[in-house]
Amino acid sequence: MNKTRKSNTVAASKVTFTELMLPSHSNFSGKIHGGFLLQLMDQIAFACGSKYSGSYCVTASVDTVDFLNPVEIGELVTLKASVNYVGNTSMVIGIRVVSENIRTGKIKHCNSSYFTMVAKDEDGNPTKVPHLELKNFDEVRRFFDAVRRINQKKKLKTLEEKFDYQSPEALKLLANYNVVIKL
């Protein structure tokens, strides 16, 4: 386990990789399969978290994966990742995915997402990660954006715990949705 808790910079966490999209990566509509892109995102999140923490990392959660633009066969996909936030043993990794048509040079933003990674020691137990050094206002903004998302998740969990799905109010709410109620 890390006995001394040093600090590390956002810049020291940055990882970028680019891969050519092949026909074997495509789905039935001829676009690159979303699951393949998620696999690449998980790999870069692991690399980024491990590089930053100096420890093996595992994925704890993935927040909001929106596929903004399709990726075509033959395009270059570039993934960029950096640590946006650190807790005691966890890190929020921001990931941006862009594709480039190598014939036209057109670049599309395809996806942005946030992976929470947990650092593990040699025995598989969570281990402390270095403090995060924020060196500019963009890094401060990304840190506070992560704090906001974390707090929103906590509030949502609290609301879900309090919500009674069997109450008359809940059943009335179902009338607003495309469901048939047969209880």
**Can you say whether residue 94 is alpha, beta or left, with left for phi > 0 and alpha for psi between -120 and 50 degrees?**
beta
Domain of 36, in residue numbers: 7-134
| Its pTM surpasses 0.85 | yes
Tell me, yes or no, whether 33 lies in a domain: yes
Tell me, yes or no, whether 87 lies in a domain: yes
Please name the residues in contact with 97: beta carbons below 8 A apart, sequence gap of 6 or more.
Answer: 37, 40, 41, 77, 78, 79, 109, 110, 111, 112, 113
Tell me, yes or no, whether 14 lies in a domain: yes
Tell me, yes or no, whether 172 lies in a domain: no
Alpha helices, DSSP H only, in the chain? 10-13, 34-53, 137-162, 168-173
Tell me, yes or no, whether 146 lies in a domain: no
Q: How far apart are CA 117 and CA 50, in angstroms?
A: 9
Kindly report the number of other CB atoms within 10 A of residue 17's CB atom. 13
Tell me, yes or no, whether 34 lies in a domain: yes
Tell me, yes or no, whether 142 lies in a domain: no
String of b and e for 87-124 (b: at least 16 CB within 10 Å)? eebbbbbbbbbbbbeeeeeeebebbbbbbbbbbbeeee
Overall number of domains in the chain: 1
Q: How far apart are CA 85 and CA 110, in angstroms?
A: 23
What type of residue sits at position 124?
Answer: G
Per-residue pLDDT of the chain (183 residues; tens, 9 = 90+): 445 579 999 999 999 999 999 999 999 999 999 999 999 999 999 999 999 999 999 999 999 899 999 999 999 999 999 999 999 999 999 999 999 999 999 999 999 999 999 999 999 999 999 999 999 999 999 999 999 999 999 998 888 888 888 888 888 888 888 888 777
Q: How far apart are CA 107 and CA 100, in angstroms?
A: 4
- Domain of 119, CATH number, reads 3.10.129.10
